[in-house]
Amino acid sequence: MTETRVIRAILFDKDGTLLDYAKSWLPVNRELAAFAADGDPDLAHHLLRETGMDPETGHVVPDSLLAAGNTREICEGLIKAGARRGFEEMVAHMDGLFASAASRAVPVTDLKDFFERLHGKGYKLGIASSDNERSIRHTAERFGFIHLVDYIAGYDSGHGSKPEPGMVLGFSAATGIDVSEIAVVGDNNHDLHMGQRAGAGLKVGVLTGTGSRESLSAASDHCLNDITELESVLPALA
């Protein structure tokens, strides 16, 4: 386990971490595949399989494109798998679809209450997602905690993409808190490896997304059932 004297800031992934991945994103993945396949159901199923989702069971492979990729990476994968739409057309459609999906997203817990508790304890709070920034902001606004967030970064915010360290380094710069005092919380290895590469003081995996305890154990200091257990981990470190 990583040794650290204090954690002063927490950077959360969004999908599968703050939001229940299966309840929020499986229908969206199906919509995206149907669009990319131009309505061909057989091709749509093929596109889902090639990007990481079983079209029958809904299981999403840990660290696959649909589990961890950003919009452009997923669209590149769809093109390689035989999508019938153009790349830029799919990027624009997918960004819009993901932003509108915020209205259907299912939170893991009462996010306003959760963020209020952490904010009240003095933590700086941020969100770093492979989704676009507009979608992240819609989510935070919908669930009433955007005023408690000190930093938001999507794949299109200029900090690079996961698993590169840019989003964590941007959070550090925005808050003035050293990376060694930042906890990174996410549901897949892109999140945890981002934290590792940045030198984050704590890496926490959660099981409300596409990762499993087995897939997350090597890169995480803690692997929790969901974010509501985070507070039981932090006091011993602060």
The CA distance from 109 to 8, in Å, is 22
Helix (H) / strand (E) containing 42: helix 41-51
CA 90 to chain centre: 20
Instruction: Give yes or no for residue 2 having a pLDDT over 60.
Output: no
| Helices and strands: H and E segment counts in the chain | 11, 6
At residue 235, the pLDDT reads 61
Please name the CATH architecture into which domain 9-20+107-233 falls.
3-Layer(aba) Sandwich (3.40)
Instruction: Please state the rounded mean pLDDT for residues 200-220.
Output: 95
Task: Tell whether omega for the bond before 41 is within 30 degrees of 0, i.e. cis.
Answer: no
pLDDT at 166 over 50: yes
Domain range annotation of the chain = 9-20+107-233, 23-103
Statement: residue 3 has pLDDT above 90: no
Element (H, E) at 32: helix 21-36
What are the tens digits of pLDDT across the range 62-103? 999 999 999 999 999 999 999 999 999 999 999 999 888 888
pTM: 0.88
